[in-house]
Amino acid sequence: MLKFSNNVLDGVKFCLVFPAYQESDDVISLKVMKQGLGKIPPLSLCAVAGILEKFGANVKIIDASADNSSIENTIQKIGLFNPDFLGFTLATYQFHFTVEWIKRIKSHIKVPVLVGGPHARIYPKEILTHRCIDYCILGDAEEVLPRLIYSIIEKKELSSLGGVAYKINNRIKINRFFLYCNDLDHVPLPSRHLIDNSLYFSLISKYKNFTAMTSSRGCVFQCTFCDNHCMPYRAMSPKRVVDEMEVCQKEFFINEIDMFDGIFSLSKKRLVNICAEIIKRKLKVHWSIRTRADLVDQDVLKQLRRAGCMRIYYGIESGSQKILKNIRKGVTLERISYIIRLTKEMGISTFGYFMVGNYGENNFTLKETEKIMLTLPLDYIQIAPIFYPPNTENYKELVKVIKFDYWRKYTINPYSRMEFPIIGTNFNKDQLHSIVRKMYLRFYLRPRNIVKLLMALKSLDEFIRSARAFYSMFGEILAEAIASNIHKNKKLKD
């Protein structure tokens, strides 16, 4: 962390903006309303705000997605705040949509624009070809951002500052010496006081207020579809994790926390100590985690249940052992089946993540996936057709086929968008989306599943959200099916 005075940014006004949500055909296989999917707090912006406030800056967060603000309304809010800097986080599949917001905003608010996030780390040069963007943060914001702002204000040379990219004399300079924060315990708490915590929920959240948390960064595994392993793994201590949970509950009246760590149970000792700390402090908070089946056992599940863990999201991915091997998942179907059943026996809700279209996918492997999806005691599932994010092994294989770096070209020019070929399988994109729809219907429209979900509802608010989500996910499909049947019956009568 930065060593100089904590008031070094005193008086600096920084506005962080999260644009309204836009659906992407690349990632979402069902046309769903954002009200149905949920509204998750902008964790990255809250974390950045916490860093800036630590050094004395005056920060405002505008979450246009959560409060349904138009770009015009957002510009008005920014103007009233009159910031010295603007900040955005860049996601690959939302990149050009975010850039359009930046262009519109900067045409009215003419201050430096800083961006960060995974896409900024990978393609800083290409991002800075957009005139509306001035600086890219490449490393962890804790180590880079305060120094960068201080240097800009004091007009200091940036060549010795690692983890930034910037423009000087119409040239782009990239200091790729990434700076990673290894002491996450001293990272400031995210500035949740800058957002309205009552606005947030997930598709299946049961309690208000709801929030998300992260307690680690990076990953030690090498799954072909994920780029988390590109950063070193670091984790907060059990005390720091529970400190944040306690602040969430006592200061922001948050009753449900979704831990967004890709793998929360990498260290059994750390997880058990987190549970013990929650129990010791008598925190009555409902929380959920994401992990792998090979990183959970009976003892871990007992501790999680005692500490109030209500749901575990498992990355299952496929019901085919061949596919799991191809994507380097490193877990057996026997272990997956055993742990999912054990989790349910312990009274913890189960959520399964699945992907279709991986290398080697065929009709037989799809049937294997559908079988495990329908036979395991899963309460919820999410299925996605394969996607090729940059910096993943899947994407590197795709580049070998298409012979160029698509995301690089796309970052420079939005009109270069193309439909990816699906490599290693005979299925195309439309077929995969159709398969996903059918799998969703077969899972969620089983009578026993509908009854179980209805019985699990905790409030009228949850029922309304679930009904909206159901309609947005399946209404169009069911309408098409009904219309098709009517048409068939009419033809038979004729």
Tens digit of each residue's pLDDT (9 = 90 or more) over 150-206: 999 999 999 889 899 999 988 999 998 777 888 999 999 999 999 999 999 988 888
Distance separating alpha carbons of residues 56 and 45, to the nearest angstrom = 16
| Phi, psi at 38, each rounded to 5° | 120, 170
Query: What does the pLDDT average to over 27-43?
Result: 60
In 10 A of CB 64, how many CB atoms? 19
In this structure, are residues 345 and 377 in contact, taking their beta carbons and an 8 Å threshold? no
Query: What does the pLDDT average to over 222-246?
Result: 94
pLDDT at 94: 87
pLDDT at 33: 34
Confidence at 464, pLDDT banded by 50, 70, 90: low
Distance separating alpha carbons of residues 122 and 427, to the nearest angstrom = 29
Instruction: Evaluate if residue 1 carries a pLDDT over 50.
Output: no
195: which 2 tokens?
A: 């957002």
Instruction: Evaluate if residue 27 carries a pLDDT over 50.
Output: no
pLDDT at 154: 92
pLDDT at 28: 41
- The CA distances from residue 85 to 103, 241, 371, in Å, are 14, 31, 52
In terms of DSSP bridges, do strands 201-202 and 38-39 run parallel, antiparallel, or are they unpaired?
antiparallel
User: 343 in helix, strand or coil?
Assistant: helix
Distance separating alpha carbons of residues 354 and 381, to the nearest angstrom = 7
267: which 2 tokens?
A: 């260290």
Between 213-222, 441-450, 461-470, the lowest mean confidence (pLDDT) is in 461-470
- The CA distances from residue 267 to 185, 278, 312, 399, in Å, are 16, 17, 16, 35
Q: Which residues of 395-433 are buried (b: 16+ CB within 10 A; e: fewer)?
A: beebbeeeeebbbeebbeeeeeeeebebbbbebebeebb
CA 173 to chain centre: 29
Distance separating alpha carbons of residues 440 and 451, to the nearest angstrom = 16
User: 278 in helix, strand or coil?
Assistant: helix
Q: What does R_g of the chain's alpha carbons equal in angstroms? A: 23
Q: Report cis status (omega within 30 of 0) of the bond before 255.
A: no
Report which DSSP code applies to 294: G
In this structure, are residues 469 and 203 in contact, taking their beta carbons and an 8 Å threshold? yes
Q: What single letter denotes the amino acid at residue 89?
A: T
- Beta-carbon-side half-sphere exposure of residue 207 (alpha carbons within 13 Å): 17
CA 326 to chain centre: 24
CA angle 466, 247, 346 (to 5 degrees): 55
Whole-number mean pLDDT of the chain?
Answer: 89
pLDDT digit string, tens, across residues 52-96: 999 999 999 999 999 889 999 999 999 999 999 999 999 888 899
In this structure, are residues 298 and 339 in contact, taking their beta carbons and an 8 Å threshold? no
pLDDT digit string, tens, across residues 351-410: 999 999 999 999 999 999 999 999 999 999 999 999 899 999 999 999 999 999 999 999
Distance separating alpha carbons of residues 188 and 48, to the nearest angstrom = 9
pLDDT at 416: 74
Distance separating alpha carbons of residues 97 and 226, to the nearest angstrom = 23
Distance separating alpha carbons of residues 374 and 265, to the nearest angstrom = 26
Instruction: Evaluate if residue 107 carries a pLDDT over 90.
Output: yes
Q: What single letter denotes the amino acid at residue 82?
A: N
In 10 A of CB 241, how many CB atoms? 26
Q: What residue has token string 């947030």?
A: 200
Report which DSSP code applies to 184: G
Distance separating alpha carbons of residues 135 and 124, to the nearest angstrom = 9
Instruction: Evaluate if residue 466 carries a pLDDT over 70.
Output: no
Q: Where are the alpha helices (DSSP H) in 415-459?
A: 429-444, 447-456
- Beta-carbon-side half-sphere exposure of residue 59 (alpha carbons within 13 Å): 25
pLDDT at 482: 55
CA angle 242, 248, 251 (to 5 degrees): 125
In 10 A of CB 154, how many CB atoms? 8
In 10 A of CB 488, how many CB atoms? 10
Distance separating alpha carbons of residues 143 and 291, to the nearest angstrom = 28
Query: What does the pLDDT average to over 236-252?
Result: 98
Confidence at 32, pLDDT banded by 50, 70, 90: very low
| Phi, psi at 481, each rounded to 5° | -65, -45
pLDDT at 2: 47
| Phi, psi at 328, each rounded to 5° | 60, 40
Distance separating alpha carbons of residues 13 and 474, to the nearest angstrom = 45
Confidence at 22, pLDDT banded by 50, 70, 90: low
Query: What does the pLDDT average to over 284-299?
Result: 96
pLDDT at 231: 87
Question: Considering the chain, what percentage of its residues have pLDDT values greater than 90?
Answer: 74
In this structure, are residues 480 and 48 in contact, taking their beta carbons and an 8 Å threshold? no
pLDDT at 448: 73
Burial class (CB within 10 angstroms; exposed 0-12, middle 13-18, buried 19+) of 77: middle
